Amino acid sequence: MAYYVGVDLGATNVRAVVAVGDGDEIGSGYGATPQGPNGRAVTEAVLDVVREACDDAAVAPGDVRAAGIASVGPLDLAEGAVDDTPNLPAAVERVPLTGPLSDLLATDRVYLHNDSTAGVIGERFHAERNSDDMVYLTISSGIGAGVCVDGNVLYGWEGNAGEVGHVVVDPSGTMTCGCGLDGHWEAYCSGDNVPRYARRLHAEDPVETALPLDDPAFSAADVFAHAGDDAFADRVVDRVTRWNVVGVANLVHAYAPRVVVVGGAVALNNPDLVVGRIRERVPAKIMSNVPEIRLTDLGDDVVVQGAVASAMTDGTGDRNRLFR
């Protein structure tokens, strides 16, 4: 029996699964992503959830054939690490991943990907029709994309292709991104930044609203929950949609995908207000072929499933390269 491990390292949580040769999950581990005191603490959390998943599957770590890791970026593929990610506190400067996991599992078949790249690998692997030209777009606490062109998953310099959350959608630079730069898509439309953008819009035009703008716990979920019942919430959703459409149009013109699959908590929890509105409005911004735009069928599992698919296919997600 062949065993494979997939890891999803996010800014908030880290998850690992063990799967058998047909991709079926037989064990899992889950924990919070440490916010410090250093990167090694995050590495240890990854190793802990992998051990937990192996225990749950009754599989010795040394019996695992290969592993895939999907992680927040930016990445340093040469060193197999996350380097100065804006998604974690500044004290977490560098998170070693492939080396420590390779030591734990006693295999050099450990493949590191940006989490969105893992998303497109998972989508291709599990799709009924394995499209050679597709984008996986995540709209969650951050924004990113995994891209496949002519059957080739794009990795880019050190694995950091697809950081589309940091493309400029607003040249006026009204909002500053978490990375410190202005006008980025993520600064307006990610789950972490929708509340900031709502407060900014309200400061410019302080109309009556039921949104709890002054509550420290005010979130993107509040904005979407009030949409349809609160005029200001509707305005925020409309403005967020405007920037999402600009970002998706840029993706389409850059990569000419046949399908754009959307995931991430913001999209999954608000499919009509996010994906539905992008689908309605993008055609007016596209001068070439308009792709199919749909919500992922894999839900919250798309990234970890991509990590497993990577492990099973020599890091590619191509079913023709399944390990035997």
Beta-strand pair 81-83/94-96 = antiparallel
* Crossing angle of helices 231-255 and 194-204, rounded to 10°: 120
At 55 the pLDDT is 98
**How far is Cα 194 from Cα 211, in angstroms, rounded to an integer?**
12
Binning the chain into helix, strand and coil, the percentages to the nearest 5 are 40, 20, 35
CA 160 to chain centre: 13
Which of 104, 46, 86 has its CA nearest to residue 70? 46
Which of 156, 115, 136 has its CA nearest to residue 257? 136
Category of 52 on φ-ψ map: left (φ > 0), alpha (ψ -120 to 50) or beta: alpha
304 contacts 8 by C-beta, under 8 angstroms = yes
Q: Retrieve residue 41's tokens.
A: 């603490």
At 299 the pLDDT is 93
At 33 the pLDDT is 95
At 324 the pLDDT is 45
49 contacts 89 by C-beta, under 8 angstroms = no
**How far is Cα 123 from Cα 286, in angstroms, rounded to an integer?**
24
What does pLDDT average to in each consecutive run of 10 residues of the chain (324 residues)?
Answer: 94 93 90 94 97 98 96 90 85 93 96 94 82 93 93 86 93 92 97 97 96 97 98 98 98 96 96 98 96 94 94 76 54
**How far is Cα 101 from Cα 105, in angstroms, rounded to an integer?**
6
- Residue length, the chain? 324
**How far is Cα 31 from Cα 35, in angstroms, rounded to an integer?**
12
Which of 311, 314, 323, 312 has its CA nearest to residue 67? 311
